[in-house]
Structure 1
Amino acid sequence: MTEAPNPLLSPSALPYALPDYASISPEHYLPAFEAAFTEHLAEVQNITRVRSMPTFDNTIVALERSGETLDRVAHAFYTVSSADATPEIQAIDEALAPLMAAHQDAILLDSALYWRVSTLHERIDELALDPEARYLLERHHREMTLAGASLDDEAKERLTALNQRLSTLSATFEKNLLADTNELAVLFPEASALEGLSAGELSAARRAAADRGAEGYLLTLPLFTGHPALASLTVRETRRRLMEASRARGSRGNVHDNRATLREIVSLRAERAQLLGYPSHAAAITADETAGTPEAVERMLRHLAAPAARNARAEQAALQEIIDDTEAVPFALEAHDWAFYTEKVRTARYDIDTAALRPWFEAERVLQDGVFRAATLLYGVSFEERPDLPSYHPEARTFEVFNEDGSPLGLYILDLYTRDSKRGGAWMNPIVSQSTLRGTKPVVVNNLNVPRPGDGEATLLTLDEVTTLFHEFGHALHGLFATVTYPHFAGTNVFRDFVEFPSQVNEMWILWPEVLTAYARHIDTDEPLPADIVQRLRATETFNQGHATSEYLAAAWIDQAWHRLGTADADVDDVGAFEAAALADIGLDNPAVPTRYSSAYFAHVFSGGYSAGYYSYIWSEVLDADTVEWFRENGGLTRDNGDRFRQRLLGVGGSKDPLEAYRDFRGRDADIAPLLKRRGLAD
């Protein structure tokens, strides 16, 4: 019998080259990667063996055409490995990590290829390149240089070994975190322990327990430290158990303990940075970001930390007052109490109970009449669900996206619900990247981790989950709208400290009247969210920002502290002590305000792409807050404004220096004042 061909090794016949997941099995992935590695290396060798002098076409364009099969296989696999990491997929991921690292080094460190790119770069002014082509040549030269292409053979050999080991460690960190997060989900035999949760939340907890074959109610853990249920749970011991479980992840001394893994990651990253000529990993990373240096990052973080910590202490005092006045036996406020008593203060001060708002945020309506509607009003795009197109998981829904003139734009996939095989948090990733050179249109995915309710029950979102959906859809729009020639610049392939900017801007439409009145309607009565509640929600925009800003800045500073270590001091014995000292250094060591991510479960920086770059969110928020001001000054949600933002920012992808693109859109550099005002730090 003839063996069936590997479906990953041929372009998909489905619309938009969507991978035919129905025909792909786990055993297809590794052979497909091996074949794709071989093909890509051969394509690069064909470039370097050309006897004629390098030209833009025979070197840079040829390089952009190469690796198409590998891109197809990698996008298909990494979508699955993050959203449906079964044990079989995890095993493939671990085996693949060093192979992928070695292959990337084989390209980036290729001396003959680097010679051709460098030769062209030296003559860049003579080549009469259009702006996108010129920037592409600059980026290839800079990225290869920063990767170590100019090192001698001995240094390259060590660098390759470091990269392979680091890739393995990152995969191990993520696997450990997923396993420990699942193990630490808290089971409650009786509903009485969960007093304060809504019927829908109890239904989701009961379903989560049943899915694991358990009786009772299971609260699974989000990626970040706090748990959404902490704001509602009236039983203090329940809150304590949840917070304790969350903060224990990766540091319990069991087989999933991540502390040794992250210490080795830090040490090897420091060594790699030194090999590349940088004093630290943070210096190596920021050298190719808009920030430029770790010192620039430090200046911003310290500038914000002091007023944030001051505001958090004032908020803490107000919460303690509530406890002292209302509890029969007063106690000192602890971290697991903060969200619960914050809601009491919010209710007393603004007459808003955010948990009670969930009936106005039914998930399908938020999606269709909120997220999609805002995009239609702003950009003219429309969405049509395509249940006929197979996705990687039964819960992932596929939508075809059209421009206003009816022309096809791409596919959008939404995977809303949490499951044990999905990593925590929320994210966007491409399955197919747009490129006119390759003739491809974009296919992008949004993943969230919303608890699934019982069968037949509506999914009611929290306001935070609504915000997350709008945020991640901002990334999706960036991926859908970027229209570039070269795949190197596709979608969200921009500097890390710029990539969060478009997604943060998209959050502004959550409370915009034309959008809010369409989606925020009561699940039972269809009544819109009352206008007085909307006004009070707007009034609370700076409420609790001391806590929110402090917990974020604490995580950003921990990331910087680890990655500013040089080789001489990177061997840290005690992870907890190091973290505590770092937080004390910046004045964010308030026990009642724990860091948003502690080191042992800080997936963004130890298994994701944000190492030495978690500061990016606040760095991008400077641009975001300034852009929100621009929209308000120029009429808000209009097609003209949408077209300008799409054409000058989202549409350029990574094909232009991001700050130059921002100046082209805004007419000037960003002003930090709107951010300080938004976060209550202006004084």
Structure 2
Amino acid sequence: MTDFPLTANPLAEPSTLPFGLPPFADVRAEHFAPAFEAGMAQQLAEIEAIVADDQPPTFENTLVALERSGRLLSRAAYLFFNLVSSASTPEIREVETEFAPRLAAHSDRIRLNPELFTRIDAVVAAGEPLSGQEQALLDRYHLDFVLAGARLSTEGHAELRDLNERISRLSTRFQQNLQAATEAASLVLTDLAELDGLSEAEIAGAAAEATERGHEGSYLIPLILPSGQPLMSTLRNRDVRRRLFQASVNRASSGEFDNSPVAVEISALRARRAALLGFATHADAMVADQTAKTSAAVDEMLTALVAPALAQARAEAEILTAEAAADGVELAAWDWQFYAERVRAQRYSVDTAALRPYFALEKVLHDGVFFAAGAVYGVTFTPRPDLIGYHPDVRVWEVRNADGGAIGLYLGDFFAREGKRGGAWMNSFVEQAALLDAQPVVVNNLNVTRPAKGAPALLTLDEVDTLFHEFGHALHGLFSDVVYPRLSGTSVPRDFVEYPSQVNEMWARWPEVLANYAVHVETGEVLPASVVESLEAAKLWGEGFGNVEYLAATMLDQAWHRIGADEVITDAVGFEAAALEKAGLAMDLIPPRYRTTYFQHIFAGGYSAGYYSYIWSEVLDADTVEWFRENGGMTRANGDIFRARLLSVGGSVDALAAFRAVRGRDAELEPLLRRRGLMPVGG
């Protein structure tokens, strides 16, 4: 094999740290370019060795060899793209701009290698006896290659490579524009009176954030990724609410970081690529590899939800309009969260802002998230302060089974900062794979506002749910128990991957768990039972808003990815407005959860034409929560079944078959409708 010049590069060899944790302290931005260059060359040499093998193609000499290839490139890429999301710098962004399209082209050189696909095809045709995981890997790779264009002509391959490279460049630009625009749109306030309604801790946090970002003596409210901003529910100054709302929904829609033309071009290129691959639209191409299978199935579910969601939202709007009118205010979009919170407090005796002292991040994490995982799955989380993260905010825990057996590492990165994209997510640094003797190293990212120095970080109810949700993804990665890396952990269909994480949200409100973590940070008082009862009574309040904002974003995603290859869009704003009107979801009072220019999931993430997957997965989730309840709730027996039959199998088992192995039948829609208050009267 060719020698690659990687002198003194910490990425050159596998990490010697526990579980292969990357040597963060040793890696600098300049190490990635040579590692990518060498990694791509090395993998291409490995692929050439596979196709040059004069032995007949077998599972071992083709599929297993393919799984073993590209270890250097994979090691560098996992680390790099985590840093792009969590600890970006100008140097990192420069490397990303150069190498994102080159890495996409490298992937095409493998997926569009006709000799390699011929070998995979031959293994399929040979029908050699294979185990379940071996067959799953063969099926997975064969479909990957077909959907990637392996059956196209030489001319088709060339066109596809060009399209993929252009889409990759544009997706990188979209993400970088969004990050810069979001940081630039942070609301800076100089008058303390404008923060009326915020707690002392929130004000101190805003002051600390301002100082951190170079606005000494001011107060800074950073934007989170969705349209709705948490502080809009408590800010009493209506003009500040308006400014915060407009900063949020107008992000990246004009000026230097305008993503409008970027989104238009990405969608057009995706449409052309879909046509080249033989699909009517990009949405059809994407759903072919999901559990939904067809766009018609997606439409059937979404359409059934629109009318009842709108009815919910309009009923809420009537109540809020009357509440605002009592203040002499004509209800506007930036007023919705404020008055919704007031109504919640009046009707259900729930003031969610006042609850934040009960949700200290450390208590929620250790005595909530980790406690629930221990109760259900028997796992423990031990701090490893000797292991260094990629940023001072990052902490590391070692995860073990009840018998003491090591599972892997869990990293937590919970605070917002410059250089970190918005939203919340789980990623892997190392994916579990017995073939490579690899145990998992996973990370959860949130964007909680950093508290003042020495003060505890306090979460909103939504942030509590988000932490449990993202930890569900982490468990999916940590509990993986498969042979092959391509089938590991969360390597499941996009419209299935949210399901296990949504199930994990159930423990946030489980009485035993809630009582363990919901403790007042100053008084030590456990969240009163009366408040818990009020939270339960109020759980459907605001569902109309939540359902409409989600469905609007979902329909917007579908609209952008249902265009034909010859369709020309010149006005992104007009297209968005028309799409929402056509879907019946154009409500001035409720913007989509994500508008086009900051819809990171679909233009710079893996959810293009797939944002529907959250509610598609929730059908499975709601049904599974009922299964847990029917079988005794928080028990190790239930956890062991869910872990063994679903969380551990990754992509080695058909996704819906894994669900049936737990539930004993196909999923039913009624649990979801009940949860969201969408069940027809008498249903």
Confirm or deny a common fold (TM above 0.5). yes
Query: Are 2:103 and 1:100 aligned?
Result: yes
Provide the rounded CA distance (Å) in 2 between the counterparts of 1:404 and 1:43. 40
Question: What SS does the aligned partner of 2:495 have?
Answer: coil
Paired residues of 2:226 and 2:593 also in contact (CA < 8 A)? yes
Question: What SS does the aligned partner of 2:302 have?
Answer: helix
Query: Are 2:430 and 1:432 aligned?
Result: yes
**Identity over the aligned pairs, expressed in percent?**
52
What is the number of equivalent residue pairs in this alignment? 675
Provide the TM-score with structure 2 as the length reference.
0.98
Provide the TM-score with structure 1 as the length reference.
0.98
Question: What SS does the aligned partner of 1:444 have?
Answer: strand
Paired residues of 1:205 and 1:219 also in contact (CA < 8 A)? yes
Could you tell me which residue of structure 1 aligns to residue 139 of structure 2?
138
Q: CA deviation at 1:481?
A: 0.3
Query: Are 2:624 and 1:658 aligned?
Result: no
Provide the rounded CA distance (Å) in 2 between the counterparts of 1:211 and 1:514. 38
Match of 1:224 among 196, 202, 226: 226
Match runs of 1:287-298 below 5 Å: 287-298=288-299
Paired residues of 2:6 and 2:12 also in contact (CA < 8 A)? no
Provide the rounded CA distance (Å) in 1 between the counterparts of 2:6 and 2:63. 37
Q: CA deviation at 1:536?
A: 1.0
Q: CA deviation at 1:67?
A: 1.3
Kindly provide the CA deviation profile for residues 91-114 of structure 1, in whole angstroms up to 9, marking residues without a partner as x: 111111111101100111110010
Could you tell me which residue of structure 1 aligns to residue 346 of structure 2?
348
CA root-mean-square deviation: 0.9
Match runs of 1:530-541 below 5 Å: 530-541=528-539
Query: Are 2:205 and 1:207 aligned?
Result: no
Match of 2:669 among 672, 679, 683: 672
Give, as a single letter, the amino acid of the residue that structure 2 aligns with 1:541.
K
Q: CA deviation at 1:120?
A: 1.3
Give, as a single letter, the amino acid of the residue that structure 2 aligns with 1:566.
G
Match of 1:250 among 246, 249, 252: 252
Question: What SS does the aligned partner of 1:358 have?
Answer: helix
Could you tell me which residue of structure 2 aligns to residue 233 of structure 1?
235
Match of 2:602 among 601, 605, 613: 605
Kindly provide the CA deviation profile for residues 183-234 of structure 1, in whole angstroms up to 9, marking residues without a partner as x: 1111110111111111111111101111122131111101000100000011
Kindly provide the CA deviation profile for residues 403-460 of structure 1, in whole angstroms up to 9, marking residues without a partner as x: 1000110000000000010000000000000000000000000000001011111111
Provide the rounded CA distance (Å) in 2 between the counterparts of 1:331 and 1:590. 18
Question: What SS does the aligned partner of 2:570 have?
Answer: coil
Give, as a single letter, the amino acid of the residue that structure 1 aligns with 2:142.
H
Q: CA deviation at 1:388?
A: 0.7
Q: CA deviation at 1:587?
A: 1.0
Give, as a single letter, the amino acid of the residue that structure 1 aligns with 2:235.
L
Could you tell me which residue of structure 1 aligns to residue 587 of structure 2?
590
Kindly provide the CA deviation profile for residues 595-628 of structure 1, in whole angstroms up to 9, marking residues without a partner as x: 0000011000000110000001000000000000
Q: CA deviation at 1:3?
A: 8.5
Question: What SS does the aligned partner of 2:382 have?
Answer: strand
Provide the rounded CA distance (Å) in 1 between the counterparts of 2:310 and 2:584. 7
Match of 1:487 among 485, 491, 494: 485
Query: Are 2:45 and 1:63 aligned?
Result: no
Question: What SS does the aligned partner of 1:498 have?
Answer: helix
Provide the rounded CA distance (Å) in 2 between the counterparts of 1:56 and 1:6. 34
Could you tell me which residue of structure 2 aligns to residue 114 of structure 1?
117
Give, as a single letter, the amino acid of the residue that structure 2 aligns with 1:219.
I
Could you tell me which residue of structure 1 aligns to residue 412 of structure 2?
414
Could you tell me which residue of structure 2 aligns to residue 624 of structure 1?
621
Provide the rounded CA distance (Å) in 1 between the counterparts of 2:296 and 2:418. 40
Kindly provide the CA deviation profile for residues 343-381 of structure 1, in whole angstroms up to 9, marking residues without a partner as x: 111011101000000010011011000000000000000
Could you tell me which residue of structure 2 aligns to residue 13 of structure 1?
16
Could you tell me which residue of structure 2 aligns to residue 366 of structure 1?
364
Q: CA deviation at 1:5?
A: 1.9
Could you tell me which residue of structure 1 aligns to residue 421 of structure 2?
423
Give, as a single letter, the amino acid of the residue that structure 2 aligns with 1:247.
V
Gaps of 5+ in 2: none
Give, as a single letter, the amino acid of the residue that structure 1 aligns with 2:579.
A
Q: Which portions of structure 1, spanning 4 or more consecutive aligned residues, are displaced by more than 4 angstroms?
A: none
Provide the rounded CA distance (Å) in 2 between the counterparts of 1:586 and 1:576. 16
Question: What SS does the aligned partner of 1:653 have?
Answer: coil
Give, as a single letter, the amino acid of the residue that structure 1 aligns with 2:264.
R
Question: What SS does the aligned partner of 2:409 have?
Answer: strand
Could you tell me which residue of structure 1 aligns to residue 76 of structure 2?
73
Give, as a single letter, the amino acid of the residue that structure 1 aligns with 2:585.
L
Q: CA deviation at 1:128?
A: 1.3
Give, as a single letter, the amino acid of the residue that structure 1 aligns with 2:651.
G
Provide the rounded CA distance (Å) in 2 between the counterparts of 1:69 and 1:667. 42
Paired residues of 1:434 and 1:484 also in contact (CA < 8 A)? yes
Paired residues of 1:490 and 1:653 also in contact (CA < 8 A)? yes
Provide the rounded CA distance (Å) in 2 between the counterparts of 1:19 and 1:84. 15
Give, as a single letter, the amino acid of the residue that structure 1 aligns with 2:446.
L
Provide the rounded CA distance (Å) in 2 between the counterparts of 1:462 and 1:678. 21
Give, as a single letter, the amino acid of the residue that structure 1 aligns with 2:552.
A
Provide the rounded CA distance (Å) in 2 between the counterparts of 1:4 and 1:63. 27
Question: What SS does the aligned partner of 2:539 have?
Answer: coil
Provide the rounded CA distance (Å) in 1 between the counterparts of 2:324 and 2:394. 44
Q: CA deviation at 1:122?
A: 2.0
Provide the rounded CA distance (Å) in 1 between the counterparts of 2:651 and 2:547. 29
Give, as a single letter, the amino acid of the residue that structure 2 aligns with 1:235.
N
Paired residues of 2:136 and 2:651 also in contact (CA < 8 A)? no
Q: CA deviation at 1:526?
A: 1.0
Question: What SS does the aligned partner of 1:416 have?
Answer: strand
Paired residues of 1:452 and 1:459 also in contact (CA < 8 A)? yes
Give, as a single letter, the amino acid of the residue that structure 1 aligns with 2:590.
V
Provide the rounded CA distance (Å) in 2 between the counterparts of 1:574 and 1:73. 39
Paired residues of 2:6 and 2:34 also in contact (CA < 8 A)? no
Q: CA deviation at 1:585?
A: 1.1
Could you tell me which residue of structure 2 aligns to residue 550 of structure 1?
548
Kindly provide the CA deviation profile for residues 67-124 of structure 1, in whole angstroms up to 9, marking residues without a partner as x: 1111111111111110011111111111111111011001111100100111111233
Match runs of 1:31-50 below 5 Å: 31-50=34-53
Match of 2:576 among 572, 575, 579: 579
Q: CA deviation at 1:4?
A: 4.6
Kindly provide the CA deviation profile for residues 297-322 of structure 1, in whole angstroms up to 9, marking residues without a partner as x: 11111110111011100000010111
Question: What SS does the aligned partner of 1:652 have?
Answer: coil
Paired residues of 1:366 and 1:466 also in contact (CA < 8 A)? yes
Provide the rounded CA distance (Å) in 2 between the counterparts of 1:99 and 1:246. 33
Give, as a single letter, the amino acid of the residue that structure 2 aligns with 1:323.
A
Provide the rounded CA distance (Å) in 1 between the counterparts of 2:668 and 2:231. 36
Paired residues of 1:240 and 1:336 also in contact (CA < 8 A)? yes
Question: What SS does the aligned partner of 1:412 have?
Answer: strand
Comparing 63-72 and 404-413, the one that deviates more: 63-72
Paired residues of 2:11 and 2:75 also in contact (CA < 8 A)? yes
Paired residues of 1:541 and 1:678 also in contact (CA < 8 A)? no
Provide the rounded CA distance (Å) in 1 between the counterparts of 2:151 and 2:524. 64
Paired residues of 1:414 and 1:447 also in contact (CA < 8 A)? yes
Paired residues of 2:6 and 2:35 also in contact (CA < 8 A)? no
Provide the rounded CA distance (Å) in 1 between the counterparts of 2:106 and 2:214. 42
Paired residues of 2:178 and 2:252 also in contact (CA < 8 A)? yes
Provide the rounded CA distance (Å) in 1 between the counterparts of 2:361 and 2:99. 36
Provide the rounded CA distance (Å) in 2 between the counterparts of 1:203 and 1:466. 21
Give, as a single letter, the amino acid of the residue that structure 1 aligns with 2:55.
S
